[in-house]
Amino acid sequence: MASKFDYLRKNLYAMAELCLEQVLILDDAIEQENPDLAKQVIERDDLIDSLEKQNDNLSQNAILEAIANRNLLGMDQIDGEVVLKKDPLRFALSSIRINRSLERMGDQIVNCATCYRRGLLPKGFFRQEEILDKMLSRVVTLVGMAVESLVEEKNRFYGSVHTVEEELNNLCHAAFLKFVLDPRLDKNQFADLYRMILGIERAGDYAVNIAEELVRLNTGMDIRHLSDPVQVTEKTKAS
């Protein structure tokens, strides 16, 4: 039983680290104006898709085994706090949601790489525009925090994730308003830039989804769609 869950955990971590590598390679591709690196991001997406399928099957099988063997594992005889953090059934259920967010995050990164590799944007455009450079920096930070939180199986980064996400969303909104009527860009160039802005924002959203799922895994609280999820999690820590 333990080996199956260990394998699922290992696969999930590998997938998360691949997503982080993809974001870093995309950042390098744009910073270095290297379309070959963007092509590498696109080609590596098959690795993430393969792990997503494996993890989906592993999670479903793990759920069935956890239900069948939960009493044998002693999960019916221990206190609630331990169940929250050690119950394999909870971990398997969370893995399905985290697995889905990682796969979709990978797709958004590939969308950005595909648009950049078309080469329609003016040379040096991202490097010249500080707001675009900041967007890339923030999404790298968000994905990095989500992956580190996942590997550590902790939710301690959630407050920081929420803060960076808000900053990223504001940057993406400001970038759209700045470039929608930019005379330097024709309609095809703006379309690719807009797709990249949207992809970066959505990649950040999926990083936040992972952070929220880790809060649920560690505390049992569903903080999605709350007006102030950070305050709620801080109160939980204090209590």
Task: Give domain limits for the chain.
Answer: 4-223
pLDDT at 101: 96
Out of 3-12, 66-75, 137-146, 204-213, least confident range:
66-75
pLDDT at 215: 84
CATH of 4-223 given 1.10.10.1100, 3.30.110.40, 1.10.3080.10, 1.20.58.220:
1.20.58.220
Asked if residue 228 has pLDDT above 70, the reply is: no
Euclidean distance between CA atoms 167 and 131, whole angstroms: 11
Q: Which of 230, 218, 220, 216 is nearest to 153 (CA)?
A: 218
Residue 167 CA to its chain's centroid (Å): 16
Residue 173 CA to its chain's centroid (Å): 20
Buried residues in 46-65 as b, exposed as e (16+ CB within 10 A): eebeebbebbeebbeebbeb
Higher-pLDDT residue of 66 and 44 is 44
Q: What is the mean pLDDT of the chain?
A: 85
Q: Cβ neighbours of residue 42 under 8 Å, at least 6 residues apart? A: 110, 113, 114, 117
Burial of 188 (0-12, 13-18, 19+ CB in 10 A): exposed
Band of pLDDT at residue 221, cut at 50, 70 and 90: confident
pLDDT at 72: 54
Angle at 95 between CA 141 and CA 165, to 5 degrees: 25
Q: Which residue shows structure tokens 């085994």?
A: 65
Asked if residue 39 has pLDDT above 80, the reply is: yes
pLDDT mean over 2-10 = 75
Task: Report the residue count for the chain.
Answer: 239
Q: Which of 206, 209, 198, 177 is nearest to 135 (CA)?
A: 198
